[in-house]
Amino acid sequence: MKFSKRLKSVLPVIGLAALYGLIMLLKSMGIANNYHIQILMFAGVNIMMTLSLNVVNGFTGQFSIGHAGFMSLGAYGSAIITTLILKPSVIPASMQIPVFLLSLLVGGLVAAMVGYLIGLPTLKLKGDYLAIVTLAFGEIVRAGLRLIEPIGAARGMIGVPNYANLAWIFLFVALTLFFVRNIIYSRFGRAWIAIRDNEIAAEAMGIDSTRYKIISFTFSAFIAGVAGGLYAHVVSFIQPDTFSFVKSSDLLVFLYAGGSGSLTGSIVGALLLTSLPEALRFLASWRLVIYALVLVIVMLYRPKGLTGGYELPFLRITRKEIYENRKKKLPETPLQETEEGEM
């Protein structure tokens, strides 16, 4: 029993490592090249962003449409560390990786902090009004960044060191999947799902919905911040206008076209829809027309998203596992036994 569970959690790690090895092999054979690698790196960052959005929109049922704001805070936060403060010219080469990781942490924390501060007053709002505020937040961050001269203002920051490579992206995507999956199936996740399904009932059950919403928002913002930091170190150039509402709506498209509430959906949505515009380059000016049509058709015929809520086996969790988890935390009472058959 225990061995198979352990195997189950180790398998995806092996699988990911094997996938990475395969890509490197293809590269050395000349079938894949830096252009493909770059697309994969963008897709990886987008997967992280979509997972982060999934936590808030998919699992907590909120309506955040300004998530690019967190991404930009993370991007700038980490870029300031590696480009302005601990520049490659002032630190020894051996320190580059620790500085890089530190910068990602800083980026994530900045985004999380802002997420928390924004969440406090606004998560009391419901539905569409929350959406507006998140949209406004995203744009205010962008407009604000445009004003700050030391980071390049509206012209952007060039020369961010190219620390991120495919291996790092793989690692962080895997870590994100790990953490998001586990938190979804913890009491936090259960509270979030309860809030999503029926907030009033959840409140009646004693769940402080505002508190859990804030936690969800902050956690999601942290991930988005780290993803933003990775992004900055892939493209080596960031400017506030990259993180506009267009980016936020791209993320929304990845999430809902892939299937919200499903981690697999986030992976599929981000991966597919990042590569599609590149693959369609041969269509020249009809490229985005076809992309738009594909999007509309997908939403019309699979409104739940491409995966329709399906989860890959290693991401899924069975009811038995949830029950066993819960049983571990609660003391045995006579009431427990009658519940055994139901769930």
Partner 1 sequence: MTTFFQLLIYGLQLGSVYALLALGYTMVYGIVGMINFAHGDFLMIGALSTVFLAMAFMNTSSAALSAIQVITIILIAMIGTGLIGVLVEAIAYKPLRDRPRMTALITAVGVSMFLQNFPRALPFIGPNPRPFPRLFPLVQLNLWGVTITSTQLIMLSLSIILMVVLYFIVNKTPLGAQMRAVSMDKDAALLMGININVIISLTFFIGAALASSSGIFYASIYPQVDVYMGSWLGTKSFIAAVLGGIGDIRGAMLGGFILGISEIFATSINSNLGYMIGFIVLILILLFKPAGLLGKFSIEKV
Partner 2 sequence: MKKVSQVLLVVLAIAVFMTACSPSAPAAPVESEPQANGEKVGETLRIGVVSPMSGPGATAGKYIVNGVKLLEEKLRAEGGLLVGDTRYPIEFLYEDNEAKEETTTNVYQKLINQDNVIAIVGPDMSKAILAAGPIAQSAGVVAVGTFTTNEAVTQVGDYIFRACFIDPFQGKAAATYAWDAGYKTAAVIYNNADAYSKGLYENFELAFTELGGEIVEVQAYSGSDIKDYNVQLTKIKAANPDVIFIPNMFTEIPLQVRQARELGITAKFVGGDSMDAPEVAELAGFENIEGTAYVSAFSPDNPDPVAQEFVKAFNDAYGMNPNSNAVLAYEAAMMILESIKNATTIDRKGVRDAMASLKDLHLPSGTITVGPDRNPIKGAAILMYNAEGVPEFVVNVNP
Binding site for partner 2 (CB under 8 A): 30-36, 38-39, 146, 153-156, 158-159, 162, 235-237, 239, 241-242, 268, 272, 275-276, 278-282, 284-285, 301-302, 306
**Distance (Å, rounded) from C-alpha 8 to C-alpha 131?**
38
DSSP structure string for 193-204: HHHHH-HHHHHH
Element (H, E) at 108: helix 96-122
Among 210, 249, 275, 325, binds partner 1 (CB under 8 A): 249
> Which lies closer to partner 1 via its Cβ, residue 200 or residue 330?
200
Site size for partner 1 (CB under 8 A): 39
Q: Kindly tell me which residue out of 54, 60, 218, 260 binds partner 1, with binding defined by CB under 8 A.
A: 260
Residues recorded for the chain: 343
Among 303, 321, 327, 339, binds partner 1 (CB under 8 A): 303
Instruction: State which of positions 268-287 bind partner 1 (CB under 8 A).
Output: 285-286
For the chain, count helices (H), then strands (E): 14, 2
Nearer to partner 1, 7 or 147 (CB): 147
Give me the residues paired with residue 157 across strands.
238
Footprint of partner 1 on 93-122 (CB under 8 A): 121
Residues 14-73 that bind partner 1 (CB under 8 A): 57
Instruction: Work out what residue 334 binds among partner 2, partner 1, none; the CB cut-off runs from 5 to 8 Å by kind.
Output: none
136 binds partner 1 (CB under 8 A): yes
CB nearer to partner 2: pick between 30 and 121: 30
- Residues paired with residue 237 on neighbouring β-strands, in sequence order: 158
Task: Report the 10 Å Cβ neighbour count for 166.
Answer: 19
Burial of residue 326 (CB within 10 Å: 0-12, 13-18, 19+) is: middle
Which one, 195 or 230, has the nearer CB to partner 1? 195
Distance CA(331)–CA(333), nearest Å, equals 6
- Comparison of 37 and 109: residue with beta carbon closer to partner 2: 37
- Smaller CB distance to partner 2: residue 122 or 239? 239
End-to-end CA distance of the chain: 22
242 binds, among partner 2, partner 1, none (CB under 5 to 8 A by kind): partner 2
Query: 46-63: string of b/e by CB count within 10 Å (b at 16+)?
Result: bbbbbbbbbbbbbbbbbb
CA–CA separation, 262 and 311 (whole Å): 6
Q: Which of 293, 299, 317 is nearest to 259 (CA)?
A: 299
The residue (of 29 and 300) whose beta carbon lies closer to partner 1 is 300
Q: Residue 245 interacts with partner 1 (CB under 8 A)?
A: yes
Angle, alpha carbons 317-47-26 (nearest 5°) = 105
Query: Which one of partner 2, partner 1, none is in contact with 36 (Cβ closer than 5 to 8 A by kind)?
Result: partner 2
Residue 11 CB partners (closer than 8 Å, separation 6+): 314
Phi, psi of 240 (to 5 degrees): -55, -35
Contact range with partner 1 by CB under 8 A, out of 38-46, 88-96, 177-185, 289-297? 289-297
Give the one entry of partner 2, partner 1, none that residue 132 binds, where binding means its C-beta sits below a cut-off of 5 to 8 angstroms depending on kind: partner 1
Residues that bind partner 1 (CB under 8 A): 57, 121, 125-126, 128-129, 131-133, 135-136, 139-140, 143-144, 146-147, 200-201, 245, 249, 252-253, 256-257, 260, 285-286, 288-289, 291-293, 295-296, 299-300, 303-304
